Amino acid sequence: MPEKTIVHNFSSWDGLAIHAAKELLEEAFGKKLNSGYFSEKPLSLFIEKDWKGLAVVKDANGLCYLDKLAVKKEFQNNGVATQLLNAIFEKHPKVFWRTSANNPANLYYFKNCTGCMKDKDWTVFWKNLGTEEIDKAVFFALKRKPDFE
83 CB-contact burial (10 Å; exposed 0-12 / middle 13-18 / buried 19+): buried
pLDDT over 90 for what percent of the chain?
Answer: 94
What integer pLDDT is reported at residue 1 of this predicted model?
45
Sheet of strand 95-100: strand arrangement:
7-10, 44-48, 53-60, 63-71, 95-100, 122-127, 115-118
What integer pLDDT is reported at residue 26 of this predicted model?
97
Range of weakest confidence among 4-8, 91-95, 125-129, 138-142: 4-8
- At the fourth CATH level, which superfamily is domain 7-143? Gcn5-related N-acetyltransferase (GNAT) (3.40.630.30)
Q: Is the pLDDT of residue 2 over 90?
A: no
- Interstrand relation of 95-100 and 53-60 (parallel, antiparallel or unpaired): unpaired
- Interstrand relation of 53-60 and 7-10 (parallel, antiparallel or unpaired): unpaired
pLDDT over 70 for what percent of the chain?
Answer: 97
Q: Is the pLDDT of residue 7 over 70?
A: yes
pTM: 0.94
Q: Is the pLDDT of residue 3 over 70?
A: no
Q: For residue 73, name the pLDDT band (cuts at 50, 70, 90).
A: very high
Fill in the amino acid letter for 35: S
* Residues 80-115 pLDDT 10s: 999 999 999 999 999 999 999 999 999 999 999 999
What integer pLDDT is reported at residue 77 of this predicted model?
87
Provide the 8-state DSSP code for 80: H
9 CB-contact burial (10 Å; exposed 0-12 / middle 13-18 / buried 19+): middle
The Cα–Cα gap between 30 and 64 comes to 25
Q: What is the mean pLDDT of residues 58-72?
A: 97
* Pick from 90, 91, 94: nearest CA to 134: 94
